[in-house]
Structure 1
Amino acid sequence: MTTTNMKTENTVWHNQQISKEQRATLKQQKPALLWYTGLSGSGKSTVANAVDALLFKLGCHSYLLDGDNVRHGLNGDLGFSDEARIENIRRISEVAKLFLDAGLIVSTAFISPFASDRALAKAKLEDGEFIEVFIDTPISVCEQRDPKGLYKKARAGEIKDFTGIDSTYDVPTAPQIHVKTAEQSVEQCAEQIVSHLIEQGFISEMTLS
């Protein structure tokens, strides 16, 4: 018998007294997961931080899970092979779900290159909670920015399995929010995303008053 089977047989889900709905009502908002995806250097973390700051200013309860930050702790044991990337997204999906259970608006800024993994993350949540935010930036612009010097290393063969160079990126086909950082300022991008949350009722008018 494998460890996985033993875990399944010997653990039972424990229902909590306070529901997700009650926690969200207390915060006067609807839980949502803003799933930022895009190439390295596209501006995912920068835009996600700007959105988080704007939500805080509006009195919302939110939290940002950044890809690099999570790899310093929870996912510090993972590399960048396809298998490791899949596990990286699986773990962060589970963590994000816990944050949603607490009634928060959660942002995850990860490359998350595979459409199948993003679909699995969406499937873990209730209908409407998963909001795919495609940070659509041409690779030429990403390489020009290259804030961490990763493209230069990848082109020199110093980094393997680098998304957009020698590892696949599945472009989102129907994202709920399509952001073009090469054409808009960070502030404009953040306002576009928060406006979507308002229009879809995740943030109430009471929160904004």
Structure 2
Amino acid sequence: MAASNIVWHDTSVTKEERRSKNNYQSYVLWFTGLSGSGKSTLANALARYLFEANVQTYVLDGDNIRHGLNRDLGFTDEDRKENIRRIGEVSKLFVDSGQIVLTAFISPFREDRQQVKDILSDNEFFEVYVKCSLDQCEVRDPKGLYKKARNNEIKHFTGIDSPYEEPENPAIVVDTETQSVEESVKQIVNFLQSKGLIDIEVS
């Protein structure tokens, strides 16, 4: 239940002023895909690329967030929804601060991803579908989670006994099964350039 007797306090520095000083827009690149598809790897590679071009970003990673902010949540459908709701609110704060935020979360449900988009303004949410087949993700299995899920050691695991709803109209589809990390980063950078969201020299 929402708290009562609270009033929104406007800040002395606006989002528009921060953007103007940074000389680039602030927004969310929401990386979604199966475990092992390469979301965190890609988000961090893009963050490094943009950092070297003097564009400030911050990566919100699913595992890292569950060490702190969301450590009280499990992996039931309800907890997954709350996980994404909180990240959406945190992402909105980053956008307001004038930064580009890269979120790497399985975020399996379309409704939850849409909820995040709905709390942001136009051109502040870009869904990046990190596409990789379940078979290939299981082959990679970087954390050994698929093996545990197949052995019934982990319950509610996305792709095994919990569904993943593919994005219907993502801003970008990055196929990490056929593309290298470098190729995928360039694809995203080219998209951002085409939308006027960054203005850097692509190397």
TM-score by length of 2: 0.97
For 1:15-54, list aligned pairs within 5 A.
15-54=10-49
Match of 1:143 in 2: 138
Q: Within 2, Cα distance between the matches of 1:124 and 1:15?
A: 17
Q: Within 2, Cα distance between the matches of 1:191 and 1:32?
A: 18
- Residue type at the aligned position of 2:135: S
Select the residue among 63, 68, 71 that pairs with 2:58: 63
- Residue type at the aligned position of 1:80: F
Select the residue among 168, 171, 189 that pairs with 1:173: 168
Match of 1:160 in 2: 155
Offset from partner CA, 1:15-70 (integer Å, 9 cap, x none)? 01110000011111001100000000000000001000011011101110000000
Q: Within 2, Cα distance between the matches of 1:53 and 1:204?
A: 16
- Residue type at the aligned position of 1:47: L
Select the residue among 106, 114, 117 that pairs with 2:109: 114
Q: Within 2, Cα distance between the matches of 1:194 and 1:102?
A: 22
Cα RMSD (Å):
1.3
Q: Within 1, Cα distance between the matches of 2:181 and 2:153?
A: 31
Q: Within 2, Cα distance between the matches of 1:25 and 1:202?
A: 13
Offset from partner CA, 1:130-172 (integer Å, 9 cap, x none)? 0000000000000000000000000000000000000011011
Give the count of matched residue pairs.
203
Offset from partner CA, 1:166-205 (integer Å, 9 cap, x none)? 0011011110000000110001101111111111111135
Select the residue among 91, 94, 101 that pairs with 2:96: 101
Q: Within 1, Cα distance between the matches of 2:17 and 2:197?
A: 15
Select the residue among 196, 201, 204 that pairs with 2:196: 201
Question: Following superposition, which runs of at least 4 residues in structure 1 exceed 4 angstroms of deviation?
Answer: none
Q: Within 2, Cα distance between the matches of 1:182 and 1:93?
A: 28
Higher helix share goes to which structure?
A: 1
Offset from partner CA, 1:98-138 (integer Å, 9 cap, x none)? 00001111100000000000000000100111000000000
Q: Which runs of 5+ in 2 are unaligned?
A: none
Q: How high is the sequence identity, in percent, across the aligned residues? A: 55
Q: Within 2, Cα distance between the matches of 1:26 and 1:140?
A: 46
TM-score by length of 1: 0.95
> What is the deviation of 1:80?
0.1
- Residue type at the aligned position of 1:100: V
Secondary structure at the counterpart of residue 102 of structure 2? strand
Secondary structure at the counterpart of residue 59 of structure 2? strand
For 1:74-89, list aligned pairs within 5 A.
74-89=69-84
